Amino acid sequence: MRIGINPEKFNKEILNSSYHRVVIPVYIPHFEGYFKDAFEIFKLNIESLLLTIHKKTRITIYNNNSHDLVKNYLDQLYNEHEVIDQVFHSKENLGKINAILASVKGNIEPLITITDSDVFFKHDWQKEVESLFLNFPNAGMVSPVPNSIAYKAFASNNWFYGLLGEASIRFEEVKDPQAMKKFEDSLGDTVKLYSSSHLEKYLVLRKKGAKAVMGSGHFVATLRREVFDLGSNSPAYIKIQGGVENKFIDIPNEELGFLRLSTLNNYAFHLGNVSEKWMNDEFEKLKVRRSNVPLNDIELFRARPLPKWKMFLGKIAQKVLLSNTLKERYFNFLGLKNARNY
């Protein structure tokens, strides 16, 4: 039985005061072994984020069946901070991608930042990321952490844009090689990502004074929501690895005709699972507050994906220029002296 008319039928429009949402999946099942410092690391993640975002940002945290102390902490955050407007609790660990998909599909912000729970945000990360979307309207994915080896991973659209489009490509000196080394160290002692030449120079797209590093990782990245809207509609059946992030993030961004970029400077740290003194030192720097002003520019939301024929040419250009036959000579031409091991 129903009596009367639901008043919301006369209030159809959804009014939204934010345009940028940050989604954080978190899984901390206990505080032993691998997860010994995970809770402290996660607190740095949240607190650094709260100190560095502008007023048109909202935060979603998806709890993948973490320990009760973590759950209680999340509920406390929700009650204390207006910008944390969504906290979801799952009684099962559904994995990172399903947590992201569940969070994104129910929101309407045009920009979505996805971040691991062990990321430390620095001042100006949001301004610099949003500026790249404004200066490169073809961008679909932007990271605040440059990565000099990401120039060929799901980045064929970048190659068209830099060779035949509106930009040019050159090697430039890495602005913060120590930050890149910190990222490498955060992955574990057995992981060596970078050679000495990777820490010296990276490939840069240049367009009318704007610059962006070619490619990006996805432990923290901001995406246009179209990547999620028009990407795969199926759930993820693998929690992590196994190409699951490629399927739901990297491939849709490339196939939709978007660029994949990073900021030149380093604006976030991957902390890993061990708390170290330098992390607290960095947090002390954040306490000197800065003004975080939203861009409020309508052009920010006007995506300009590349058409299919340009995407096809980009794939060909990347394959030819990065082949064993041409890569060294081409990289020499772009300004890299020691190109053999790059």
pLDDT digits (tens, 9 = 90+) for 224-266: 999 988 766 665 555 565 456 777 888 999 999 999 999 999 9
What is the C-alpha separation between 152 and 144, in angstroms, rounded? 18
Q: pLDDT tens per residue, the chain (342 residues)?
A: 667 565 655 555 666 789 999 999 999 999 999 999 999 999 999 999 999 999 999 999 999 999 999 999 999 999 999 999 999 999 999 888 889 988 998 898 999 999 999 999 999 999 999 999 999 999 999 999 999 999 999 999 999 999 988 899 999 999 999 999 989 888 876 778 888 899 999 999 999 889 999 999 989 999 999 998 876 666 555 556 545 677 788 899 999 999 999 999 999 999 999 999 999 999 999 987 777 888 767 667 778 889 999 999 999 999 999 998 899 999 999 999 888 888
- Predicted local confidence at residue 303, as pLDDT: 83
pLDDT tens digits, residue range 280-338?
Answer: 999 999 987 777 888 767 667 778 889 999 999 999 999 999 998 899 999 999 999 88
What is the C-alpha separation between 16 and 224, in angstroms, rounded? 17
Q: How many domains does the chain have?
A: 1
Rounded CA Rg of the chain: 21
Indicate whether 10 belongs to any domain. no
Q: What CATH number does the domain containing 102 carry?
A: 3.90.550.10
Indicate whether 6 belongs to any domain. no
What is the C-alpha separation between 275 and 175, in angstroms, rounded? 25
Its domain, for residue 217, covers: 15-333
Q: Note if the pTM is more than 0.75.
A: yes
Indicate whether 48 belongs to any domain. yes
Structural element, H or E, at residue 280: helix 277-286
Indicate whether 228 belongs to any domain. yes
How many CB atoms sit inside 10 A of residue 313's CB? 18
Indicate whether 26 belongs to any domain. yes
Indicate whether 202 belongs to any domain. yes
Indicate whether 150 belongs to any domain. yes
Q: For the chain, how long is the longest CA-to-CA vector?
A: 78
Indicate whether 71 belongs to any domain. yes
